[in-house]
Amino acid sequence: MKARTHDLAAATALLGAVIIVPDLPTMTLATVVTAFIANQLGGIAPDIDQPTAPFWRNLPIGGIFGRMVGKMLGGHRFITHSIIGMVLVGFLLKLFLAFVQPILPSVQMDIVWWAFMIGMASHLMMDSFTKEGVPWLLPIPVKFGIPPVKHFRITTGKWTENFVAFPLLLIIVAALVAANYTDLWLFLHQNIVR
């Protein structure tokens, strides 16, 4: 999937989580903004193993670092696209957020952690719909895809992604917002309008 599809998928998953999880704690505006940024970073984080990913392209010498990191991580769609990779990234992120917490005392880092992980999980789910699939169960070297028949899966950047998957995500966001408008407005009012 392309970066914009992963961005929208991460935001859609986060919106779904906000709607589904009962009794979310009251958050500061700093937490809401940081959690959304973390969600978007989580949505593209698994592609850190790809030297041509937007993350590396936007850095001055990102291509060089991207190739080094990609080789260290086993290449594209290897460890960062697995459950083991998610657990490892989640653990490292917990350590990082605990280190940063004193600098940002008004940010609830557990919410930020969950937002990042929701974004990362959405990335793996979306890539499961592509022809290449995802090695969810590494070290078992089998790439899983939805549907199981590879022929019916999406080719990254082609018409099925651009004119089916991406618009479908937009429709899901619109439907979620329309169906839960009052609850979302109350959530935003409690957490942003202060």
* pLDDT bucket at 64, cuts 50 / 70 / 90: confident
pLDDT tens digits, residue range 105-117?
A: 999 999 999 999 9
Residue 52 has a pLDDT of 75
Query: Is it the case that residue 50 has pLDDT exceeding 60?
Result: yes
This prediction has a pTM of: 0.90
Residues 6-12, mean pLDDT to the nearest whole number: 97
Burial class from Cβ neighbours inside 10 Å (0-12, 13-18, 19+) for residue 123 reads buried
**Which segment, 67-76, 169-178, 181-190, is predicted with the most confidence on average?**
169-178
The mean of the pLDDT values for the chain is: 90
Question: Of 56, 13, 59, which Cα lies nearest the Cα of 35?
Answer: 13
Residues 129-140, mean pLDDT to the nearest whole number: 94
The answer to whether residues 142 and 162 touch, using CB atoms and an 8 Å cutoff, is: no
* Residue 165 to residue 162: CA distance in whole angstroms: 6
- Enter the DSSP assignment of 24: P
Longest dimension (CA), the chain: 52
Query: Is it the case that residue 181 has pLDDT exceeding 60?
Result: yes
Residue 38 has a pLDDT of 98
Residue 188 has a pLDDT of 82
Query: Is it the case that residue 51 has pLDDT exceeding 80?
Result: no
